[in-house]
Chain A
């Protein structure tokens, strides 16, 4: 019901003046703002808004207007909202996309209309490869990269056998594939669970117990991450078999996972304590405004705002100069909170990945800490399949 009702746009679209001359920059921000993963969407929105505040509510010197749309974590809603943003609201940039399946469904209408799509999170392998587009840029990563870093780390730690668990959708599959690429030990079991409905992992955890691996790698973003860790502890596996994660323990889930997350390492391209100036300002201002730490979702959204700004500045606000904007974007010429990085031919970042661990800070609060750099200047493995060359 909801998807039908919410998925069609307003009749009020009737009289809005269409080409309201390029006096402002219009951005469509599409994320999840309802359901259990709304916390992620809110974190992204808060970070994006903070970035706009830092930019003086101007992009490239022009006032900015943001339209937020809720994809309800569903591909079919996401594609409809994306269509609405480019066709009805006629935005200049579409930013956001937490979920890889939503992004995959929504890519075509946006890039076909020659609107820039900046993914502030999802990084499916297809878009890094055959479906790469001159109108697509990522300020996050390619899905496989993060688990690849974790796979490298697990090998470094001498893990011989591993069991992989993740959700059965585009990103989940990418994650498990990523670990397999770099993990040199033996994968003795792999389970993909129904997403997002299945939150009961008892079946899979029973299999883990029976298989007796040396380690378990898991990818469960958002609320599912909380449930997984809870059930992992309940089944008695915590303390017996170490967990290695990607995107399962972050600033959003940590307050709910609490002590269950202590000692559970994760790999990330950004952690809140990275020592560059942009990051220090971002984290400090975010904390003073919202009390908790921003998550990597937020960091990527903050970057997206500055990224777009750098492009619009380069063309002096003339948004019709898309090729010039693209040229500027390819330089990654802005102060990213993860530090400087470059773009590969498929418009995905070539960047470092760090090991994050959960520790207690001076006040006894749980926080994430960078422990080591696992890999430098990592580039995704699909860039060869992308026909773009520049």
Chain B
């Protein structure tokens, strides 16, 4: 990554520094909840980044990506329930099962395009969602409480909030780096080429199906790992994690942050959190001169601004926040 002082690079650098400093700040202000809050942002940023590989770069609009969060989470949860609390067993299972499921879904879905691809990925996600709902032994719809975090002998103690935070942060950065390397290699060139003109790429001689499937599997596996992290973080897993609306959340993070950009998904995850807090304050501030005390109640309905905001982003800022920062950029 060429480190030139563009606005976008500055923002990203500052963001990374701030995120790295969160546990320190939290310790100083004795507010441990901050760490909890930002751990979730980081994990979701990791999941969104994995989606970006296939959605942003590959043009594969998967409406079932949250399913891997569920697979990873249930790998940890089910194994913990059965007495296997070692992370050395749980996390590889999370990765492998996610990869296998992605392989299955990808093999069947990647022959379709457009809305059909969206719907078939959705179908598989709902299949797994309902499968989770039917898991009577593991809580079904009520979900599963995870009593102990993944154990890693003496290497790292996940119950320590700070250690867990930095582990997630490290994994996030590793994910972003991995995707950056993939995208800037021949592999990534084929994926992106296939997004804009699949026929041409195949005409040149690239077996695009195989490349896209590989990307799909990698994205699924990374998201599965994020799922294992999320389950450790919340201490709870339920089929709701795999519901199609959660996949929608991930897509929003990617698009809002900026598709086909390294840090876009992370920016998207942070942005959504900030919006949740900033919008009520903004509404209150803007409405107060006109409506006085009623402005506080009005601020409760901040989500009514969020909806049209998405529509506006879609219509006018297709490149997301990252796109806005980098100047005019086609999505």
Contacts and interface: CB of A to CB of B under 8 A. Distances in A.
B141 A10 contact: no
Given A13-B33, A14-B31, 16 more contacts: A1-B245, A4-B249, A6-B276, A13-B37, A15-B29, A18-B30, A76-B234, A76-B241, A79-B236, A87-B32, A88-B33, A101-B143, A104-B142, A108-B235, A169-B142, A194-B133
A355 interface: no
Given A1-B245, A105-B236, A75 B143 contact: yes
Contacts of A11: 37, 273-274, 277
A84 interface: yes
Contacts of B287: none
Interface residues of B, number: 36
B213 to A, nearest CB: 29
Nearest to A105: B236
Interface string B137-166: 000111101010000000000000000000
Contacts of B245: 1
Interface residues of A, number: 38
Contacts of A3: 240
Given A79-B235, A170-B142, A18 B31 contact: yes
Given A18-B31, A109-B235, A74 B145 contact: no
Contact of A8 (B140, B273, B303): B273
A179 B314 CA distance: 55
Contacts of A104: 142, 145
A15 B28 CA distance: 11
A170 B41 CA distance: 31
A84 B29 CA distance: 17
Contact of A9 (B37, B145, B234, B252): B37
Contact of A105 (B143, B147, B241, B306): B143
B240 A19 contact: no
Interface of B: 29-34, 36-37, 40-41, 44, 133, 140-143, 145, 147, 234-236, 238, 240-241, 245-246, 248-249, 252, 272-274, 276-277, 303, 306
Contacts, number: 88
The 8 closest A-B pairs by CB, nearest first: A88-B33, A101-B142, A87-B33, A11-B277, A18-B30, A5-B276, A79-B236, A75-B143
Interface of A: 1-6, 8-16, 18-19, 74-76, 79-80, 83-84, 87-88, 100-101, 104-105, 107-109, 168-170, 194-195
A19 B273 CA distance: 25
Given A11-B274, A14-B31, A87-B33, A5 B143 contact: no
B161 to A, nearest CB: 10
A13 B34 CA distance: 7
Contact of B145 (A2, A8, A107): A107
Nearest to A101: B142
A3 B24 CA distance: 28
Contact of B276 (A8, A108, A169): A8
Contacts of B140: 168
B143 A76 contact: yes
B143 A18 contact: no
Centre residue among B32, B33, B235, B306 by max chain A CB count within 10 A: B33
